[in-house]
């Protein structure tokens, strides 16, 4: 396979897997050797074993990090700081792309950033949606309320008012407090129920301050 053949086969796909290239009369070992060679030459980005993207200037569609995260671990969704920053609920730029999954935790350093996958219980794997990322790309991302509760769930003592204030949450008027309450109740977690109460109190404080302006 020549590199021009790869570009033609991949087309507008932002990311692709090795299996995508193994149809027809091809030598799988030869394809994998070529992929390794092109990765070392900087023509391809490798995100994990078997998952690639064309590197600039060859790529026709720049892959969104959330799409990459979903494809790196099937059965995961973007959450915690990454989702909160995406929705505008925390001010900081988040350099690590965080997802949750019922599978084993994992972490990959890639040419486009660090991808972390944190384990959560199967019964907590809910509260996410398919989000349009633009350019025909879509990914599973936690609802803002679930992203916040996932973050608190994964960090010790994160239900304390001090920790929650340190997050510097913003745009709280757009949080769905009913959804937050519902998700926390569903988990049966005293920690998340306490956190939800603190967050709801903060939304009331922000609403009163906004009325004064």
Indicate the pTM of the whole model. 0.92
If phi > 0 it is left, if psi is from -120 to 50 it is alpha, else beta; for residue 161 that is alpha
- Give the tens place of pLDDT for each residue, 131-176: 999 999 999 999 999 999 999 999 999 999 999 999 999 998 899 9
Gap between the Cα atoms of 3 and 115, Å rounded: 28
- Span 3-54: which CATH code? 1.10.10
Token pair 């907590």: residue: 124
Q: Which residues contact 75 (CB under 8 A, 6 or more apart)?
A: 101, 102, 103
pLDDT of 26 higher than 90: no
128-134 β-sheet, strand order: 106-110, 113-119, 96-101, 77-78, 137-142, 128-134
* Better-scored residue on pLDDT, 93 or 56: 56
Under a CB-based contact definition with an 8 Å cutoff, are residues 120 and 100 in contact? yes
Distance of alpha carbon 111 from alpha carbon 101, whole angstroms: 22
Q: Where are the domains of the chain?
A: 3-54, 65-212
90-137 pLDDT, tens digit each:
987 778 999 999 999 999 999 999 999 999 999 999 999 999 999 999
């Amino acid at each position: 396979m020549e590199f021009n053949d790869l570009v033609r086969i991949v087309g507008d796909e932002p990311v692709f897997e090795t299996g995508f290239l193994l149809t027809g009369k091809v030598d799988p070992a030869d394809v994998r050797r070529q992929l390794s060679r092109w990765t070392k030459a900087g023509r391809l980005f490798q995100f994990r074993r078997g998952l690639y993207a064309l590197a600039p200037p060859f790529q026709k569609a720049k892959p969104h990090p959330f799409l990459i995260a979903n494809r790196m671990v099937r059965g995961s969704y973007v959450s915690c700081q990454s989702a909160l920053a995406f929705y505008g609920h925390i001010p900081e730029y988040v350099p690590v792309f965080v997802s949750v999954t019922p599978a084993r935790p994992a972490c990959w350093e890639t040419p486009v950033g660090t991808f972390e996958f944190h384990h959560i219980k199967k019964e907590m794997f809910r509260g996410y949606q398919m989000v349009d990322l633009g350019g025909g790309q879509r990914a599973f991302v936690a609802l803002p309320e679930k992203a916040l509760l996932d973050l608190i769930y994964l960090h010790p003592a994160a239900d304390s008012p001090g920790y929650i204030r340190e997050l510097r949450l913003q745009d709280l008027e757009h949080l769905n407090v009913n959804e937050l309450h519902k998700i926390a109740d569903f988990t049966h977690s005293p920690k998340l129920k306490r956190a939800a109460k603190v967050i709801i109190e903060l939304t009331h404080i922000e609403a009163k301050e906004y009325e004064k302006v």
